[in-house]
Amino acid sequence: MASEKLKALRLDEGAAMPMDMSSMIDLVFLLLIFFMVSSHLIITQIDKRVKPPTAKNAAVAKNATGRVVVNVLADGSIWAQDNVELTSSEAIEDYIDQAKQRHDQASPQILTRLNLRADQDVETRVIKKVVQAAGKVGVVDVIFGSYVVER
């Protein structure tokens, strides 16, 4: 008699066990927000048209503050970060100088650096031109964007 009752009870419990998802979703959102807040992204806009050269001694950057990004395409054209073409040496100087001044006001303790993303097939003439323009406005640290592994 008693075993019949127990069996019925057990069957009853197994049949309808509603799973409450809401707490799980709460937790997932909490984790998502935690990682969104705790991670600091390296924000440099990457121009997809540039295929950077390979350098196995290059190091992946930990932070990207104080960078002025200049993209150089394989055809030798020079582009600023916000998709504006720089056609003359003066334009490059102006662009780097403006970025440097903006950055010096925001955080004067960090040196402004030139992040030169030059295509692997570009002529060295163009690289020299950009580096020279940067040197003229007082940006002497140059970072060449490159891949560690050959693609």
Of 56, 68, 150, which is closest to residue 117 (Cα–Cα)?
A: 68
Say which residue the tokens 């009752």 belong to.
5
Q: Is 110 in the site for other proteins (CB under 8 A)?
A: no
Q: Is 147 in the site for other proteins (CB under 8 A)?
A: yes
For other proteins, the binding residue among 3, 57, 105, 109 (CB under 8 A) is 57
Nearer to other proteins, 3 or 124 (CB): 124
Q: What's the CA gap between 71 and 79, in Å, rounded?
A: 5
Q: Is 149 in the site for other proteins (CB under 8 A)?
A: yes
Phi and psi dihedrals of 70, rounded to 5? -125, 125
Q: Are strands 113-118 and 78-79 parallel, antiparallel or unpaired?
A: unpaired
Chain residues binding other proteins by CB under 8 A are 21-22, 25, 46, 52-61, 72, 89, 113, 115, 117-129, 131-132, 135, 140-151
